[in-house]
Each structure stands twice: as structure tokens, then as C-alpha cells.
Structure 1
Amino acid sequence: MKQLSLSILTFAVGLIFSGCNPAPKSKTEVATINSSKDYMVVAYVAGYRDFDFSTIDVTGITHINYAFGNIRDGEAIFDTTKIDGKRLSPDDIVKLNSLKSKNPKLKVLVSIGGWSWSGGFSDAALSETSRAKFAQSCAKFVKDYQLDGIDLDWEYPNQTGAGNIYRPEDVQNFTLMLKAVREELDLMAREEGKNNHYLLSIATGADQAYVDNTELGKLAEYLDFLNIMTYDFYNGLHTVNGHHSNLYPSAQPKLDMNSAVNAVDMHTKAGFPVEKINLGIPFYGRIWKGVEASGDQILFNKAETVGMGIDYIDFYQNINANGYTRYWDDTAKAPYLWNAEEKTFISYEDEQSIALKIEYLKKRGLAGVMFWEYSADHEHKLLNAVLSNMNE
């Protein structure tokens, strides 16, 4: 999940799409799920955004994951440190819980970690004593904020991430940490005598390195579900432009296998059950400037910048301006925008690509979708695409 690594550009980018797009629904017209299968729709909300969480339309949303909680001295805490200039507030959780009056089935969780706050995981998972301390703090966290569960977003076990402490032991210790948290949550539920079940989920990486450094086949015993971050395939570390959330591998370069389908296959081959997997959908794009494109070869070229994050709302709302043309990679099933004059490229998600992802997850038997992040959408355009296709 993104935190400080997702730089939000607060400028408007002029676009013009090739072809027609349906008129967006108003913010009060959010679709609902009406299906024989109860698909999950997990919405991450960033606590550091300037956004009133009481205004979230939860009509079709099943779970909200608030980002983020931190780890200090081996314990999960609500950290009011500023992120991107905004201080997180526990009042946000109160507002999120109040949304249950509109959707009584809504589940509210807090996600611990994220890109910038994963530094304490390795130490917390290191020993039986440290795992017990962390697990007890997670249970207390859930109780203190009247949550339905907790989400762990360790980016990443046995990998440096944002310069974090990491150890080879993380691979097994992550499993033991989840076991400890599961047991502590179950103990709390039994002691309360309310027949509660507190949820435990994780956000997972979409590449082979993540799979190789976790014991995915063992984690299902302790997890209710997981959310694969099937985005950022090309990202803020790449000076070559490309798809950041394509469904299938692109035809070029032929060795580039990054895709949502590949990520799901890696998880299931590692032993994690498909029916507990949510497919990640980004409500933001990646933008490269100074792309050295030649002719029709727009994809996979060197650029003057890395692929910076840009919210959907920050570029799509100016669709009447000239300069950008929408293209479609039919092999990857992914759209992109190209401004030849400015040599600017944007990889993003739209209604067509979302429809194909929902079709895929239904056929594959996945649990549902996760998206990052609610406030980045434009007039619920992407959320409605998710929900309307769930209904079909």
C-alpha cells in the first residue's frame, strides 16, 4: 500500500480521450452489489488525506481499511505524526464507525504499516516474547477503537522496503506473528462472550520476491483474506514508462511478466486459497515526463522522470482539454494516455480495464477486490465501474 512513496501531484493535466465515455454518475449514485455471490469490496482510506471520512458512500463497500497505524517499541499504535503535511486523528475512526448506520454490514479495520511505517515489523516479529507483545497490542488496538479487525501491511518481510530493518528470519517469523495475532484476537472474542470474530488480513506484494520471502501456503490458517497490491508494476523507481496495473503481461517487452493474473497465480501456486484473495485496483495513475518515444512505440521508453503517482481525480476531471490521446494495449488489457507534444505518458485504470478485471476475478473464483484509495476517485467513476460489474 502506498504512503509517503505515493507522491500526489496537485496539478491538473489536460486530457482528451479517443472515443466516447459514459456520463459519470453523481456522487450520490453509487452502485450496489446484488449478486448470488457476496464479493468483497475493500476500500483503503488514507488518514493523511484532507478528506471528511463521514462523507464516504458505503452503499457497495464491504470493508474499510484505514491507513495507517504505526509500530513503536514493538506495539501497534495510532500515531498522530504528520504524513504529507496532515496529522492523523483518532476522530477519523469514530467517523468511519458511524458509517455503519448507513451500512450495518460494513467492517472497519485499521491497517498497520505501509511503505513508510513498516520499519518496526522485523523486530516485533523476532521472538516469541516480541510477537506476544505485538499481538496483545493489536487486540488492545481493536478494542480501544471498536474495530472489526486489523490489517497488517508489512512492506516487506526480508526486504529493505523503505530502508527498513529486515532479516532472513522474517520469512518464518511473519507466519508466527500472524498466528500470535490470530490467537490473541480469538482469545479476546471468547472473553467478551459476544460470539464475535475479529478479522485479520494482510496486504501482499505482487511479485516473485514477495512470494519467495513469505510462507503464503501457511498463512491462510490465520487470515480471513488478503489483498494483493496488483499495481505499481512500473513505478516511482523506474525511469522507463510502462503499465502499472495491467491485467495480463504485455507483448513487449516479452520478458516482462508483471501482471495481475501472474500475481494471483504466484499466490495460489504458493498454496494460498484463491477464495481468500482480493484483487488490488489502483484509483491513481503513474505519470512519466520527457519520454523518448519514437513513432508508435510509446510504451517502454526511457523518460526524464520516474513514474510519479497521480490521483485519478487530478487528471481525469479535465477531459475536455486537448493534448492527450487514450490508447489501449489489447494484450495487457490496459489503457494509457499519451501527449506527443509534451512527451508525457500516464498509466492508469479506467472503466474498460476494471470491467475485464472483474470478469477475470469472477471466473477465477477470487473473493473480490481491494482498491487504493477512496478519495482519489473522480465522482465515484472507478468505484461505480467496480460495483456495476460485480452486479453482472
Structure 2
Amino acid sequence: MRKAVIVLLIAAVVCTAAFALTACNATPDGIADRFEDLAADGKFEVKRGTAGESAVYDFGRQVTVNTLVLKEVRDVVTSFRLYADDSEEPFYGNDYIGDYRYCSFDEITLSKLRIEVLSCEKLWQMKSVEAYNISGTDPEDDFRIMGYVTVESAVAMGEEHNANLDAATHLNLIGNIYFTSVSDIVFDDITLKSGEKMDGEEAFALAVEKMREANPDGKLIVTFLGNKDLTGDGLEVEDRHNEAMGEHKDKLIAGIVAVVKKYSLDGVSFDYEYPHKLKSYTVYEEFLAGMRAAVDALPGDILLTAAICDWQLTPAMFTVKDLEVFDFVEVMAYDCFDKRGDHSAFYTACYEQLRKFESKGFDLSRLNLGLPYYSRPVDGAEYWGNYYDVAEELYPFENSYVEAYTDIYGNSFPPLRNYYNGPQLIRDKTAYAIDCGAGGVMLWHMGTDSTDPTYSLTQLIARVKASR
């Protein structure tokens, strides 16, 4: 009897673990319950192989789809392409499959799917295929495209950037408006491409004007920063925030409100990286309550937002209730390196991020998923490459680019793989965010996008939004 009980307990644990693993890699109910899985009655004709070989999935009938979910038994595929029936032209490509790969593409009709594995770390084995024809997941057309624009890049932008700027629903100016430890608002001077200095408030005013001209219907938000010592206070970033948002809270709120009124802004945002002490979160949250009351007292619907990271969603930092003070939050789903050194891959920086917030009870409609328009080296060095420099090389299916680089300290490094988010990955993340019910995406940052319509990530995101 005792032995039987032990066996049953072990079996229960194994079943529970298996269920948990399955649930962790499942397609969200909002998709699976709403749309028919057109691959449900199909089967693999070939499911194992090595680099250069293909898996073949037979749907058993002709189906019309615009979304596939692929899974493999082991996370070993590092580059693949998808083909319809006997076609030799891929309709989709990307890097990893792993535990969950969401593939978004233009509608296609097929009866068999060929998955060509271009490269892998060892012998691969496919696990499953799901197929959907998804539409109507943004019925109110209210999915947000929040593009951050540094004031320095805004001042330098010509008309060639207008199509990108106009594709956003919200623009967030950042990078030259700061507060001090005693809550003075300071417009920091910027350096022009010519090397000349430009007065900080003059630059800010010009940036506001250019954003309004490029996107007259968009919401214009401004991020107030406390991460720069402009007065020689010698304080750490966290301590400066604590003084400004604590002892000088009322002055800081009044100063921010004055800027909102003077420039007719649509919102206020914060990018506080990062409070770590319990006291700091208490000070920040009390300040935000006052800031919320102040913007609510202004005419119009003035927005209050902030950039946060998923690891901050804990009882000691931010609870879901704490975050209700914001109209929405921007989740910085980048610079989170995985086992391969990729800082913003689909699984870790999209799938897992949204699942984590949803599992904590956060309303995804109040979340903007961060998308990077830059690279990081796979060794984690402090270098941020610009997407526009390699846009043509990444188009349409690549995310990695081997390049030599110089870090922010002036150290030069030999060629190394840098991980970007290429057009297809940006499309997949955007489609997944929309289909899951997320409120929007956040783009960091607009100044590093390509202005060529073929390669522009922002214009691509707008097209994906329109297609869902």
C-alpha cells in the first residue's frame, strides 16, 4: 500500500510537471479558443533531420493560413525557412524554433508545409505545428505604436523621417529634459551633428514642433529623467530620485505640470533605471500618486506612463495594483540576454514577457511591448548598433549580423555576432502582441529606424496592425 502510494505520488508529480511544461509553451487562450487550429488533423511525413534537410507536415487538406506556431523537441534549430507545397520560394524565414515560434505572414493557401532547417546545433526533431487564419484581433483599431524619439535625433530629422513618425500613434520625446535633486527642471543642451551646442530648451521646443508637424494626430508624450548629475550633487541616480520625489515632491510635480501646459503635451512619462531599495519604491509610488492627481486635474486626458522591466513585477517592487497609477506601461523587453547571448529573441523577449505579466494578473491591454531598433553583441558588451546601418543586410529574415564594433568606452573589438530584431521578427512580435490582447508596442528608438519604406520597421508595424 505504502509503495503504491509513493508510485502514485511520483506519477502525480510527473503529470503535474508535464502539464506545467505544456502550459508554459501553449498558445494563449485568446488565440486558441477563438480561431480554429487548421493543422489539428495533420501529421508529419518527416520530422527529424540535420542541417540542410527538411521536415514535411501534411495538413490532410488544403488550408488558407496567415499564422503558424512551430515547436521542436529540443531547442537546436538556429535558422529555417518555410515553403508551401512544392514551391522553391520561401514565404517565411527566421532563426530559432525552440519551445514556441509564432510565425506571421501574408495569407497563403497550401496542403503541405516544408520546414527547411538551414543550420542547427545538433540533430533536430519537430514536435508540433499549429495553423491559424487570424483577423479581427484589433477590432477597435486602438493598438498603440509608441515611438521613443531622442530630442537630439528629433532636431536632426529631415522630412525623410516623416513617414516613420506618422506611422506611430504616440511619440515620446526623451533625452534632454531632467530634474535635479531639488526638483528644478533643466533642459540640457544638445550637440548638433556639426559639433556645435544648441540651447536645451530651444532644442526641446524645436523637437516638439517637428513631432507635431510630422504626426499631427498622434499623442505627444515627454519623459522626465533624473539620471544625470547636472548640478554636481554627486548623488547616485536612486538617491537623486528619492530626494526629488520625496522631500521636493510637490515642486517636481508643479514643474512637470508647467512644462505640460507650456508645450500642450499629451502625456508625462518616466524612465527610472532602476530603484532597488524598498524605500525607493515607496517614495516613487507616493510621488506617482501625486503626479496622477495633478495630470487628472488638467484639461484633456493627459497620460501618465513609465518604462519598466518584467523583473520589477514583484511584491517588493511593483505589484499589479501599484501599476494601476499608469495609463499604460512600456516593458523594456530587450537587453535580456538568453543562453545564446541574444538580447531580444522571440521566446524570451516576447512570448515569456507577455505570459509573465498575464500570469501575474496584469491587464495586457495596458502594456506596450518593447521592440529594439538596435543590436547588442552576444558577449553582452556595451555597444548598441543602429538598425539602419544593416537594414538591407537583415532583410527580410535575418536577425544576426557579424560586425566589428567599438564600445561606449572606446574599446575596439573584432567581428562578433550582433543580435538585432530584423523585419520578420518585428512582424512576429507585433502580430503576437496584437493577437494576445496587448495594448501596443514601444519602439526604442525611432532615430535608428531605416527611412527606406522597404526596410522601415515602424511602417511595417503599422501594416501589421492594419492586417490584424
Where on the TM-score scale, by shorter chain, does this alignment land: which range? 0.5 to 0.7
Tell me the TM-score normalized by structure 2.
0.58
Query: Unpaired runs of 5+ in structure 2?
Result: 1-80, 82-88, 93-137, 230-236, 405-413
How big is the shift at 1:204? 0.7
Determine the structure 2 residue equivalent to 1:79. Answer: 187
Cα separation, partners in 2 of 1:71 and 1:92, compared to 1, 3 Å: closer
The partner residue of 1:142 within 256, 260, 267 is 260
Alignment of 1:1-392 (within 5 A): 36-49=140-153, 51-53=155-157, 55=159, 56-57=161-162, 58-68=165-175, 69-75=177-183, 77-82=185-190, 88-97=200-209, 99-100=211-212, 103-113=215-225, 116=228, 118-119=237-238, 120-127=240-247, 130-158=248-276, 167-187=277-297, 189=298, 195-206=299-310, 208-209=311-312, 211=314, 213-234=316-337, 242-249=341-348, 259-287=349-377, 303=379, 306-317=381-392, 319=393, 335-338=399-402, 343-380=415-452, 381-392=456-467
Residue 306 of structure 1 aligns to a residue in which SS? coil
Q: Structure 1: how far apart are the matches of 2:156 and 2:282?
A: 40
Q: Structure 1: how far apart are the matches of 2:191 and 2:271?
A: 17
Q: Structure 1: which amino acid aligns with 2:249?
A: R
CA offset digits 1:38-70 (Å, max 9, x no partner): 111111111233753463423321111111221
How big is the shift at 1:357? 0.5
Residue 245 of structure 1 aligns to a residue in which SS? coil
How big is the shift at 1:142? 1.0
Contact 1:178 1:219 in 2 (8 A): no
Contact 1:285 1:349 in 2 (8 A): yes
CA offset digits 1:282-327 (Å, max 9, x no partner): 1111135xxxxxxxxxxxxxx5x7151011112335x3xxxx9998
Contact 2:308 2:330 in 1 (8 A): yes
CA offset digits 1:342-370 (Å, max 9, x no partner): 65201001111011111211121111111
Q: Structure 2: how far apart are the matches of 1:224 and 1:309?
A: 30
Cα separation, partners in 2 of 1:35 and 1:315, compared to 1, 3 Å: same
Contact 2:375 2:420 in 1 (8 A): yes
- Percent identity of equivalent pairs: 21
**Bigger-Rg structure (1/2):** 2
How big is the shift at 1:175? 1.6
The structure whose residues are more often helix, as a share, is 2
Structure with more contact order per residue of length (Cα contacts < 8 Å, sep ≥ 6): 1
How big is the shift at 1:75? 2.1
Q: Structure 2: how far apart are the matches of 1:311 and 1:102?
A: 22
Residue 457 of structure 2 aligns to a residue in which SS? helix
Query: Unpaired runs of 5+ in structure 1?
Result: 1-17, 23-33, 159-166, 190-194, 250-258, 289-302, 329-334
Q: Structure 1: which amino acid aligns with 2:296?
A: D
Q: How many residues were matched structurally? A: 308
Residue 347 of structure 2 aligns to a residue in which SS? coil
Tell me the TM-score normalized by structure 1.
0.68
Residue 221 of structure 1 aligns to a residue in which SS? helix
Cα separation, partners in 2 of 1:153 and 1:352, compared to 1, 3 Å: same
Q: Structure 2: which amino acid aligns with 1:315?
A: V
CA offset digits 1:77-115 (Å, max 9, x no partner): 242245797654444434434544554421111111276
CA offset digits 1:124-165 (Å, max 9, x no partner): 2335xx32222222211211222112111111122xxxxxxx
Range moving further from structure 2, 56-65 or 76-85: 76-85
The structure whose residues are more often strand, as a share, is 2
Contact 1:327 1:336 in 2 (8 A): no
Cα separation, partners in 2 of 1:375 and 1:177, compared to 1, 3 Å: same
